[in-house]
Structure 1
Amino acid sequence: MISSFRLTGAKPAQLLSGLAPYKNVLVVIAATLLTVALTLKLLAPASAPDLAQPGNASRVLALTESWESGDVIALVRHAERCDRSTAPCLGAADGVTVRGEATVRKLGMDFQQLGLNTVDIYSSLLTRARQTADAMFIRPVEAQDWLFNCRGTMLRDALRHKVPGRNLVLVTHSECMEQMEKDLQVPTDTALGYGSALFIKADGSSVQPKMLGYIAPEDWRRLVPGMTGMVTPARAVLPL
Structure 2
Amino acid sequence: MPTNRPAGATAVAPTPLSVLWRNKRLLVLLAAIAALASLLTLTLQPEPVVDLGEDNHMDESGLFASWDKGDVVVLVRHAERCDRSSNPCLGDDEGITIAGSETADDVGDAFKALGLSNADIFSSPLLRTVQTAASMFDISIATQDWLSSCRKSLKQNMLNHKQTQRNLLLVTHSGCIESVAKALNTSGAEYDSEYTSALFVSVDKQGGRPRLLGYMKADGLERFVDGSKS
Q: Shorter-chain TM-score: what band?
A: 0.7 to 0.9
**Number of corresponding residues:** 222
Contact 1:202–1:210 (Cα < 8 Å) also in 2: yes
2:214 alignment counterpart? 213
For residues 88-99 of structure 1, what are the structure 2 equivalents within 5 Å?
Answer: 88-99=88-99
CA gap of 1:232–1:141, structure 2 versus 1, over 3 A, is farther
Structure-1-length-normalised TM-score: 0.79
CA gap of 1:40–1:82, structure 2 versus 1, over 3 A, is same
d(CA) in 2 for partners of 1:206 and 1:45? 27
Moved more, 170-179 or 198-207: 198-207
RMSD: 2.9
CA gap of 1:33–1:129, structure 2 versus 1, over 3 A, is same
For residues 170-181 of structure 1, what are the structure 2 equivalents within 5 Å?
Answer: 170-181=170-181
> Please, which runs of 5 or more residues in structure 2 have no aligned partner?
1-6
Deviating runs (4+, > 6 A) in structure 1? none
d(CA) in 2 for partners of 1:128 and 1:66? 29
Structure 2 residue 222 is the aligned partner of structure 1 residue 231: no
d(CA) in 1 for partners of 2:206 and 2:29? 45
CA gap of 1:19–1:55, structure 2 versus 1, over 3 A, is farther
Moved more, 102-111 or 210-219: 210-219
SS in 2 for 1:59: helix
CA gap of 1:42–1:164, structure 2 versus 1, over 3 A, is farther
d(CA) in 1 for partners of 2:142 and 2:18? 77
For residues 83-232 of structure 1, what are the structure 2 equivalents within 5 Å?
Answer: 83-185=83-185, 186-188=188-190, 190-206=191-207, 208-223=209-224, 230-231=225-226
> Shift of the alpha carbon at 1:153?
1.8
CA gap of 1:98–1:21, structure 2 versus 1, over 3 A, is same
Identity value in percent: 39
> Shift of the alpha carbon at 1:205?
3.8
> Shift of the alpha carbon at 1:79?
0.8
Q: Which string of whole-angstrom CA distances, capped at 9 and with x for unpartnered residues, describes residues 164-222 of structure 1? A: 1111111011111111111113422x432211111111123447422211111122234
Contact 2:159–2:208 (Cα < 8 Å) also in 1: no
d(CA) in 1 for partners of 2:9 and 2:100? 82
Letter paired with 1:111: F
SS in 2 for 1:125: coil
> Shift of the alpha carbon at 1:65?
1.2
d(CA) in 1 for partners of 2:207 and 2:26? 47
Contact 1:73–1:202 (Cα < 8 Å) also in 2: yes
> Please, which runs of 5 or more residues in structure 1 have no aligned partner?
224-229
CA gap of 1:25–1:66, structure 2 versus 1, over 3 A, is farther
